[in-house]
Amino acid sequence: MVVACLAELRKRMSNPESQTWYSDLVAIADSLCDQWRELRRQLHQHPELSGQEFETTQRLAAVLDGIGIAPQVIGAGSSIELANGRNAEGRGLIADFVSSPECAHRKKFAIRGDIDALPISDSKAVSYRSQVDGVMHACGHDVHASVVVGAMQILHQMHLSGKLPWDVAVRAIFQPAEEIAQGARYMIAHDVMHEVESVLALHVDPTRAVGKIGLLDGPFTAACDIFEVRFSGKGGHGARPHLSHDAIDAASAWVQAVYRCVPRVVNPHETIVISIGQMEAGHSANVIPDEAVLRGSLRSLDADSRLVALSKINAIGDSIFQQTGCEVAYSTIMSAPAVINDKHLVERLGYVAERVIDPAAVEEIAQPSMGSEDFSFYLQQHAGAMYRLGVAGPQIGHEPLHTPNFDVDERAIAIGAKLMAAMAIDHFAA
């Protein structure tokens, strides 16, 4: 679909060969890429968990300030708190680059990178491995942040050298707490989307070779509801179950019923995935507990199918109460809608990638991911898109996301920065 759209897009372009700024951009990026690799390694060595990205924020602010782009730290002096009760002050930042006063009134093209890490121990035997026990950038957010810094530096250098073909107004968004689906809403609450027209993001992809990008218009990632189900019964002695309302029995029956019934009420063409990842109950082998707790996720690509599935889940809870006498309480811990990519932006991504990366850089993504991304909250406000950045090289970059040996071929950083910067320039073409 994407490749087919590119042919039509080329016809609409007026004399693209005259746009020499593509080669100027590539040359500037190639001269700066060592700096971005070093930044990525610094971030990789000093990861911070979601809700704790204070030093990461300050490090990125210092780098941007050194480039000559003024950063604005988000939440400084605020009283907003995270779900864990910790104050959100001083986490995340934005940085605006406006090439001339005449462009100051223009709505901005935003590029977003997330900055939080995961509670995973780094097992790599490399000089830049994480120095924080039990925490690492196992999802590539260090790369995402470095790419966005790189794109802003390219734009700034092109401006200083007189290579920008026209004026631009670009906002870099460095977002905390993506992994817990709180960061995008936190940034939006601080008006980072004010005066923004479109927004672009990336995600590293270890299944894709460095030098390639993955594109897909429409649904890109699934909506995700992380939920908790609490079963409240009447405990008792294991020898006399008839005198109790067994919460473990209720929880077990609920899991089996949900796994069996939810897929049967949704159109099979509309994917729904429900998984239980946690079960907590009891403290002794011969005691029937009063309570059991389950936690899991519901993932969906279609909004109507999500509502049908949630309705069925609630109905199953009523049925379990009738069977076991245990109260069943369902609650949502966190939720993120599906990422829906804007078709026009995806077309532009393909066209621009051919010019600043390689004519064969674009690969179509066959199916949406059932993973989730809180980038979707930005897309509820403005058109935008996310693309996959290949990070797999000959010897490095093949380990899966969220694993202790995850790493990237660092040549991908410059490739992502070139594409982000070029998309920002392209957005303001007359």
- Domain interval for residue 210: 2-222+338-427
Q: What is the CATH number of the domain that holds 323?
A: 3.30.70.360
Note whether 233 and 207 are same-domain residues: no
Q: Of 336, 357, 380, which closes a domain? A: 336
Note whether 50 and 149 are same-domain residues: yes
Q: What is the CATH number of the domain that holds 414?
A: 3.40.630.10
Note whether 104 and 121 are same-domain residues: yes
Paired strand residues for 335: 225
Q: Of 336, 360, 384, which closes a domain? A: 336
Other CB atoms within 10 A of residue 4 CB: 10
Note whether 296 and 356 are same-domain residues: no
Answer yes or no: are the C-beta atoms of 158 and 28 closer than 8 Å: yes
3-state secondary structure of 191: coil
How far is C-alpha 407 from the geometric centre of its chain's CA atoms?
A: 17
For CA atoms 376, 377, 381, 387, the dihedral sign is negative
Domain count, the chain: 2
Per-residue pLDDT of the chain (430 residues; tens, 9 = 90+): 444 444 444 544 444 545 799 999 999 999 999 999 999 999 999 999 999 999 999 999 999 999 999 999 997 654 444 444 444 568 999 999 999 998 888 999 999 999 999 999 999 999 999 999 999 999 999 999 999 999 999 999 999 999 999 999 999 999 999 999 999 999 999 999 999 999 999 999 999 999 999 999 999 999 999 999 999 999 999 999 999 999 999 999 999 999 999 999 999 889 999 999 999 999 999 999 999 999 999 999 999 999 999 999 999 999 999 999 999 999 999 999 999 999 999 999 999 999 999 999 999 999 999 999 999 999 999 999 999 999 999 999 999 999 999 999 999 999 999 999 999 999 999 6
Cα separation, 408 vs 399, in Å, equals: 9
